[in-house]
Chains A and B, each alone.
Chain A
Amino acid sequence: MKKKYAGIVFVLPHLLGVLLFLFLPFLDVVRRSFAQAAGGFAGLSNYGEVLHNEAFRLAAGNTIRFTAVCLPLLMLLSLLLALALYGIGSGEAALKNSLLIPMAIPAACVALLWQLLFDNHGMINGMLSAFGVAPVSWMSTDASFYVLVGSYLWKNAGYVTVLWVAALDGIPGEVYEAARMDGAGKMASLFFITLPCIRPAAFTIGVISFLNTFKVFREAYLVAGSYPQERIYLISHLFNNWFLSLSVDKMAAGAVLLSVVTGAAVYALQRAWEE
C-alpha cells in the first residue's frame, strides 16, 4: 500500500503538469471550436468550414501521405540498421552514438544544410551539372516531398535504431542458444525469436515515430516558409498560418479533429498490437 502511494507521489507532479498545461488548455480549444471568432456559439459550423476548406484538405492529405510513407520506411530501415549493429561487439557503442548525431543538430542548422544542398545554386545541382544534368528546383517541385521524407529518415533513423537495439538487448541470449541447439538458422531465429520478442517495443517505437512526423514542420518551415511547395504543405503549416490570421475558430476545430484522428490512430495501433 505504501509502495502504491509512493508511486502516485512520484507521478503526481507530472500529472499536474499535464492537467494544467495540456488538458485544461485543450478543453479551452474544444470550447473555442464551437465558438465564433468574434464571440457567440457557432455549433458545428467551424467543423464544417474546416472540412470544406481546400487548404485543410490539402494539408491533411499531405500529412497522411507523409506519415504513410515515412512511418513504415523508418521502422524498417532502423530495424535493419539495429540488426546490423546488434552484437557486432567492439565499436557498437560508438556507432550507436554517431547515429544520434542528426537528432542533436538544431533545426536551424538542418535548414541551412538543406539550403546548401537543395538550392537552385546548391551542391546537389552543382554535382548534377558536372554530369550535364539541368538544375532541379528541389524545393519548388514535387521533389520537395522526397527531400522532406529523406530529411525525416536521416534525422530519426539513428534514434529509432537505438531504441530497436535496446529492445534486442532485452532478448535473453539463452533463447538463441537453445534455438541454435535445436538447429535453427539465422533467419529462423530472426522470424521466430527476434521479431516476436521485440513486438511490444515496436508499438512504443511506432507511436514515437508517428508523433515525430509532426516535428518535421520545423525544418520545412525554416527552409520554405509559411507557404512551401504544395506537396510539403502540412497541417502544421496551416495551423501556423491560421494563427497569423487569427483564425482561432478554424484552428480550434482543426486541432480537435487532429486530436481525434491521432488518438484513434494510436488506439487502433494499440489494439492491433494487443491482438
Chain B
Amino acid sequence: MRKKILSALLAVVVAFAGLCGCGDPAVGGAGGTEYPAEAGGTGNSAEVGKASGSGGMGRFLEQETSFPENMMIFGMEKLEDGTVRVLGQSEESGQYVFYDSADDGDSWVSAGEVSGLSDFFPEAGAVSSDGSGVLVMTHYKDETAEMVILDPGQEARRVMLTIPEVSASRPENLKVIVACAFDAEGRFFIESLNSHIFQVDLSTGECREFSDMEESYSRNIGIAGNWLFALSGGGVAIFNSEDGSQVEDAFLNDLFAKNPALGEKNTDFGAGFALAGGTADEIFYVTHEGLFVHSIGGSVAEQLIDGALNTMGNTSALFYHLVMLDEENFLVSVHLNRKTTVLKYTYDSSASAVPETELKVYALNDSNYLRQVMSDYQKKHQDVYVNLTIGMSGDDGVTAEDAIRALNTDILAGNGPDVLILDGLPMDSYIEKGVLADIASLIQEMRESDGFFENVAAAYEKDGAVYGFPAKFYVMLAGGTAEATAAGASLQKMADYVEASGGTYGQSGAKSLLQELYPVSSAGFLSGNKLNEDKIKQFLIQSKRLYTPTEYGDVELYDGGMADELVGTYGTVSILMGESCISCGSIASMNGLVLEAAASAQGGFDYGLAGREDSKSFVPYQIAGIGSGTANRDAAEDFLRALFGKDCGSIDGNGFPVNRSAYEALCEYGMNMFGETDEPGVSVSSTDGTSLSLEMKNATEEQIAKLTGILEEADTPAQTDKVIEDIIMEYGESALRGDIGVDEAVLAILQKCNLYLAE
C-alpha cells in the first residue's frame, strides 16, 4: 500500500515538474536592481513578440528625438554631468559635429564643429565619458593607422598609432582598424581586422596588445561599463577592461552562437546588437528582440522592452549605440531606411503592459519588408499590439503543409488572423470559402490618393471585389548583348542563342535554374482547370537545354527560408566575367537597377522583359488580405494601408511597390542615390578570382523610363500556386539531372497536378 501511495505521489510530482518546466529558463529576473519591465515575452522567430504578461500596467514607449537628419553617428555617450553627447558627421557637408542634449535626448544642440579633417575617412569612432571623441582610420597605401582626438570647438589632434608587431596570421591586417570603444574609465581600445584588440595610449598613440581573438574571428568590440565584449559570429568573449581578465558567460555566448548576425558589424551602418553599462555587473543590450538587462556571468536576461512593439523589432534596423539615462529612460541610435535617428524609450507606468488591441498577422514565410511595415505600423499605432506569426520560421522543421494545417485549424476554430499575407497560402480556396474579406473600398481609396500600377492591380480585382492585393511585385529580365536581349523573348530563343553562341546560361543547380525560369513561363501553365501539357513540356525541354551543372555537380543558390531570397537576381556582371552569355533573373530594386546600369555600361548591354513572347508576367509579392472574421477591421485596414502605402513602399528592395506614389518616390531616390559627387566604385570578383570594377552612377531618367515601361508592360501574374510549383520543381529537377526523361516527368506532373486541380 505504501508503495502505491509513494508511486502515486511520485507521479503527481513528475507531472507538476513537467508542467512547471515549460517556461523559458533563459528569461526572468536578472537579479540585482529592479528595472521596470513590460510584456513578459521575449519573442521568438515563430511567434514574434507574443506577450505573456497581458493585463498589467507599465511599458516603455518609443519616441523619435529631434536629432538632426542626415548625420552618420560615430559615438554616443552619457557624460559625467548627465549631458548626452553624440559625435557625428554630416552626410551632406562631410563636417564632423558634436551634438549635446541636456534634457535626456528631447532636444539637441550643436556643441561645436571640428575642422581640418577633409582627408580623414574614419573606420570607427567613439565618445568617452569626459566628452572627447576619437576617430580611427587606416591608411591602406602606406599600411599605417591613425587616430584623431576631437574636442568640441577645438582643433583636431591627429596621432599616428604605433601598433606592436605581435604574432599574427596576416600581420598587414593589424593596422586595419575595424572597431573602437571607450570603457567607463576612459581607456580606449581598438580592434584590428585580424581580431587583435589593443589598448591605446591617447597621448602618444602607443598600442598595447590587450587580447588576441584570431581564433574566434572577432570583427567588432563593444564596451559596457568596464566589460569589453569581443563579438563574433560564433560567440562572445568578455574581458574586464581594467585587468584584462576574461569571464565566462554561457548565456551571452549562446545568444551569439545562435544568432551569428548579432556579432557582425555592418560597415558604417551599425550592427544588430548594441551595449550599455548599468550598475555593478549589470549590462544592457539591445537586439531586434528588444532591450534586455543581464548580470555578467548570470544565466538569464530580463526583457525590459519588447522589440515587437517598436522599431527595435525591425530587422532592417541597425543599432549604433545604446545609452542608459536612468532606469526608466534609454536612448538608442539606429540606422533605418537610409537615415540615422536617435530613439528614446521612456517608461510609462500608466500605459498597459501590452496594448489592449491585438492585431494578429500571419505569414507563411518571414520577410524583411513585412518586418519593416510592422515596425512602421507599430510606431504609429502604439495602442495596437501586432502579433506576427510566421508559419515556417525555419527553426523547427515545420513544412508548408504543417503550417497551413495549423492555420486552417485556427481559422475553423474562429481564431484566424486579422491580416493574412497570402504568399504560399491557398488564396483562391480561401476566397471561395469566405475566409477573406472584400477590401475593394480600401483599394479604391488608395487608388484615388496614391494610384497603382493598374496592370498589376487589375489582376486582383474580380467582379468589383478584391480579396488579396500585392504590396510589391517584380519582373524577370533577360539581357546581355543585343542578340541576347532579343533571345530573352522566349525560353526557346534563349536556349537557341546559348547553343549557337557556344556559351552557357551560367552554372547553377537544377533547382536554382528552375526557380529562376519558373516565373518567366509559369503564367501560361494553367488552361482553365487543367495543366497545359505543351507549355510544361516546353518549359522542361528548354530548361534542360540551358542547364549546365558544374564539374562538382549542382550548386544551389537559393536554399534558404526567407521569401526575399529570389528577389533581385538579374545581373549582367556574370557576362562581363565570362561566366555566362545571357542573363535572366529578377530586378526588384533601384540598387539593382544602378548596379545593372553600371555593368551594362561596360559591355554596352541591354535588357527586356524575359519570356515576353510567351507571356508578359510579373511576380506578386506580399499579397495581403483581411480575415473575414476579424474583430479589428479598422486596425487591419490601417495595417494594409501601411503595407500598400507610400512610406514603406518607397523603401528600396524586396520588389517594386504597386503603389504609384511610392514608386515615384523610389525613382526619385534612384536618381539621387549617390548625391551629386559621391558615386562609389564597386569591385566584384568571380569564383576564379577575376575581378571587375564598376562605377556606380545615379539612375538616369532614361533608365527609369525604360524600367517603368517594362513594369507597366507586365500584366499577368506568374503562377503562384505552391502545390503546382512544388510538383513541377520536383519532377523538373529529376528531368534536368537525367534521373527521368522529360516525357516521364511531364506525365507525372500532369497526373499529380490534374489530381490536385480535380480536388
Q: Interface residues, chain A, CB within 8 Å of chain B?
A: 37-39, 53-55, 58, 120-121, 137, 140, 226-227, 229-230, 233, 238, 241-248
| With known contacts A53-B758, A238-B759, A140–B433 Cβ distance under 8 A | no
Is B17 in the interface zone, CB < 8 Å from A? no
What sequence of 0s and 1s flags, for each residue 727-759 of chain B, a beta carbon within 8 Å of any chain A beta carbon? 100000010000110001000100111011011
Q: Are B429 and A246 in contact (CB under 8 A)?
A: yes
Is B426 in the interface zone, CB < 8 Å from A? yes
Q: Are A39 and B434 in contact (CB under 8 A)?
A: yes
B707 CB, nearest partner CB in chain A, Å: 37
Complex Cα distance A120/B405, Å? 30
**A–B pairs, 29, beta carbons within 8 Å:** A37-B432, A37-B434, A38-B432, A38-B433, A39-B434, A53-B759, A55-B755, A55-B759, A58-B758, A140-B744, A226-B723, A227-B723, A227-B727, A227-B755, A229-B748, A230-B755, A241-B759, A242-B759, A243-B405, A244-B401, A244-B404, A244-B426, A246-B411, A246-B426, A246-B433, A246-B435, A247-B433, A247-B759, A248-B433
A21 CB, nearest partner CB in chain B, Å: 16
Q: Which of B429, B734, B752, B758 contacts A245 (CB 8 A)?
A: B429
Complex Cα distance A238/B748, Å? 18
B335 CB, nearest partner CB in chain A, Å: 41
Complex Cα distance A54/B530, Å? 13
Is B525 in the interface zone, CB < 8 Å from A? no
Complex Cα distance A230/B759, Å? 13
Name the residue on B nearest A241 (C-beta).
Answer: B759
Q: What residues of chain B lie closer than 8 Å to A37, measured between beta carbons?
A: 432-434
Q: Are A137 and B744 in contact (CB under 8 A)?
A: yes
From B408, B432, B740, B759, name the one whose CB has the most chain A CB atoms within 10 angstroms. B759
Q: What residues of chain B lie closer than 8 Å to A242, measured between beta carbons?
A: 759
Is B120 in the interface zone, CB < 8 Å from A? no
A254 CB, nearest partner CB in chain B, Å: 11
Complex Cα distance A229/B727, Å? 12
Main secondary structure, interface of B, reads helix
Name the residue on B nearest A238 (C-beta).
Answer: B759
A102 CB, nearest partner CB in chain B, Å: 26
Q: Which of A38, A140, A245 contacts B759 (CB 8 A)?
A: A245
Complex Cα distance A243/B727, Å? 19
Q: What residues of chain A lie closer than 8 Å to B412, measured between beta carbons?
A: 246, 248
Q: What residues of chain A lie closer than 8 Å to B758, measured between beta carbons?
A: 53-55, 58
Q: What residues of chain B lie closer than 8 Å to A53, measured between beta carbons?
A: 758-759
Residues 689-723 of B contacting A (Cβ, < 8 Å)? 723
Q: What residues of chain A lie closer than 8 Å to B401, measured between beta carbons?
A: 226, 244
Q: Are A245 and B434 in contact (CB under 8 A)?
A: no
A55 CB, nearest partner CB in chain B, Å: 4
Q: What residues of chain A lie closer than 8 Å to B669, measured between beta carbons?
A: none
| With known contacts A54-B758, A247-B429, A227–B752 Cβ distance under 8 A | yes
Complex Cα distance A137/B740, Å? 9
7 closest A-B pairs (Cβ-Cβ)? Answer: A38-B434, A245-B429, A227-B752, A37-B433, A54-B758, A55-B758, A55-B759
Complex Cα distance A226/B753, Å? 11
A242 CB, nearest partner CB in chain B, Å: 7
Knowing that A140-B740, A241-B759 are A-B contacts, what are 9 other residue pairs whose CB atoms are under 8 Å apart, sorted by A's residue number? A53-B758, A55-B758, A58-B755, A137-B740, A140-B744, A227-B752, A243-B408, A244-B426, A246-B408
Complex Cα distance A238/B759, Å? 7
B208 CB, nearest partner CB in chain A, Å: 58
Q: What residues of chain A lie closer than 8 Å to B435, measured between beta carbons?
A: 246
A231 CB, nearest partner CB in chain B, Å: 10
Name the residue on A nearest B400 (C-beta).
Answer: A244
Name the residue on A nearest B407 (C-beta).
Answer: A246
Q: Are B755 and A233 in contact (CB under 8 A)?
A: yes
Complex Cα distance A211/B755, Å? 25
Q: Are A227 and B740 in contact (CB under 8 A)?
A: no
Complex Cα distance A53/B723, Å? 19
| With known contacts A37-B434, A241-B756, A140–B748 Cβ distance under 8 A | yes
Is B430 in the interface zone, CB < 8 Å from A? yes
Name the residue on B nearest A37 (C-beta).
Answer: B433
Q: What residues of chain A lie closer than 8 Å to B430, measured between beta carbons?
A: 246
Name the residue on B nearest A56 (C-beta).
Answer: B759
Complex Cα distance A40/B404, Å? 25
Name the residue on A nearest B434 (C-beta).
Answer: A38
Q: What residues of chain A lie closer than 8 Å to B727, measured between beta carbons?
A: 227
Name the residue on A nearest B748 (C-beta).
Answer: A140
Complex Cα distance A121/B734, Å? 12
A42 CB, nearest partner CB in chain B, Å: 13
B668 CB, nearest partner CB in chain A, Å: 43
Q: What residues of chain B lie closer than 8 Å to A245, measured between beta carbons?
A: 426, 429, 759
Complex Cα distance A247/B430, Å? 9
Q: What residues of chain B lie closer than 8 Å to A140, measured between beta carbons?
A: 740, 744, 748
Complex Cα distance A242/B408, Å? 11
A47 CB, nearest partner CB in chain B, Å: 16
A76 CB, nearest partner CB in chain B, Å: 33
| With known contacts A55-B759, A245-B759, A230–B411 Cβ distance under 8 A | no
Q: What residues of chain B lie closer than 8 Å to A38, measured between beta carbons?
A: 432-434
What sequence of 0s and 1s flags, for each residue 431-465 of chain B, a beta carbon within 8 Å of any chain A beta carbon? 01111000000000000000000000000000000
Q: What residues of chain A lie closer than 8 Å to B404, measured between beta carbons?
A: 244
Name the residue on A nearest B401 (C-beta).
Answer: A244
Q: What residues of chain B lie closer than 8 Å to A246, measured between beta carbons?
A: 408, 411-412, 426, 429-430, 433, 435
What sequence of 0s and 1s flags, for each residue 390-422 of chain B, a beta carbon within 8 Å of any chain A beta carbon? 000000000001001100100110000000000
